[in-house]
Structure 1
Amino acid sequence: MSARPVDNSGEPAQRDAVLSFVGTQAKVQKSGMIFPENLSERAWEQIGSSLRELVNSSVWWLADWVNYGESTYGWRRYKEAIERTGLDYQTLRNYAWVGRRFEHHRRRDGLSFAHHAEVARLSPPEQDYWLRKAEQQKWSRNELRRTVRASLAAQSGEEEPREVARRQPQVTTLTIELSADQLEYISRAAAAQGVPVDKWVTQMLDIADRHGAERRTA
């Protein structure tokens, strides 16, 4: 049985292996990072780059962790995931959804999770195309968003008559309060159809509206 590493005071060392890139250049604690006065600018830059990669990777890790728990243990594990991470349900759902949209071999280490989220709703070939462009052109997440939106808007304008494109449907925001059990039921039903919760609710409202129209005209 190996002994736990200790610092000079005899207390167990708190250095995390995940943060080994910091080395002896700074002191890492759960609540922060303490830097020496003589830290070089180059070392400071390298630590920042490593922290950026760590933050980006942690989102992918959370996505894969949630998806594994869901597929292995079922939807009931979402309550446990919320308690374990301290993140809200929708945040975890968003992470998990993006994670499912990209197999590991299609994820680009040179781009952030946010880059992938921007194109997650597109088809896989379109995703690969835009991510490849973003990596080649070194686009930020916002630059990728603007370019993709402009491209989609141009395509939409070519496919629809101008007067139709100008007509925008009226959008109403609806807020619904649900119990934990109701949310779990709706989430399970949406997952069975492979759609996000908000889209599933919209589909159910559309169905109810059509049925109501049929009864009125019968």
Structure 2
Amino acid sequence: MDKKATVQKSGMILPRDLSERSWERIGSSLRELTNSSAWWLADWLIFGEATYGWRRYREAIERTGLDYQTLRNYAWVARRFEHHRRRDSLSFAHHAEVTRLSPPEQDYWLRKAEQQKWSRNELRKAVRASLAEQTRELSPSQSNGDEKQEVTQLSESAGADKRRKVARLTIELSPGQLDYYSKVAAAHGLSVDKWVTQVLDAAERRTA
């Protein structure tokens, strides 16, 4: 029977006869604790700011001796993910990787990472590759004020000589419409521009 590891404030003492299986279990537990503590600290900070105001919670943080900027980064990620959208099977770092994406895109990539059992680095690589591909295929459109947002898509048509010509199509959407279409596109594992392309292609085939 294995002796138990002893945890102290300044470290952990592991018995010499600790089995490999027990050692692995300890590592898994520490990983879960580290991941959870980031969420806990973030929620703690958000609560303090909302409840006690800027000065009071800033003073409280200084008294704890915790790193202020690190906590602010934690809180920034936590604010982007309501509790029901956080995935226990993924780390806090996984969520941080997709923080800058829209909520539908966040959910899509986190679901992929969960299904594929990606590490944080594998998720980062997949997201960056996808964004790079979108950048090559389509230049980002400019927002037209608060009331209108544009989705720009390249539409291809074949000429008589079978050479493909490229035209730029601009579609104006309200923020609500863009959010809805983003969710529909994410459900198909696509960005909005690629989903629009598929819809247009399908319409063209039906009328051909």
Does the alignment reach a TM-score above 0.5?
A: yes
Structure with the bigger percentage of helix:
1
Kindly indicate whether residue 16 of structure 2 is the aligned counterpart of residue 37 of structure 1.
Answer: yes
Provide TM-score, normalisation by structure 1.
Answer: 0.60
Q: CA 1:24/1:68 → structure 2, altered by over 3 Å: closer, same or farther?
A: farther
Percent identity, aligned pairs only, is 74
Mapped partners of 2:65, 2:33: distance in 1: 16
Mapped partners of 2:40, 2:72: distance in 1: 13
Contact residue 113 and residue 123 of structure 2 kept, 8 A: yes
Q: CA 1:131/1:94 → structure 2, altered by over 3 Å: closer, same or farther?
A: same
**Partner residue of 2:61?**
81
Contact residue 3 and residue 18 of structure 2 kept, 8 A: no
> Moved runs in structure 1, 4+ residues, more than 2 A?
none
Structure with the bigger percentage of strand:
2
RMSD: 1.6
Mapped partners of 1:31, 1:74: distance in 2: 33
Counterpart amino acid of residue 102 in structure 2? S
1:28 shift after superposition:
1.0
Please show how residues 12-27 of structure 1 align to structure 2 within 5 Å: 25-27=4-6
Please show how residues 112-123 of structure 1 align to structure 2 within 5 Å: 112-123=91-102
Task: Pick from 40, 44, 58 the counterpart of residue 65 of structure 1.
Answer: 44
Q: CA 1:71/1:135 → structure 2, altered by over 3 Å: closer, same or farther?
A: same
Mapped partners of 2:15, 2:98: distance in 1: 41
Mapped partners of 2:44, 2:66: distance in 1: 14
Contact residue 43 and residue 78 of structure 2 kept, 8 A: yes
Q: CA 1:153/1:90 → structure 2, altered by over 3 Å: closer, same or farther?
A: same
Mapped partners of 1:134, 1:150: distance in 2: 14
Instruction: Return 5+ residue gaps in structure 1 as ranges.
Output: 1-22, 162-218
Partner of 2:18, secondary structure, is coil
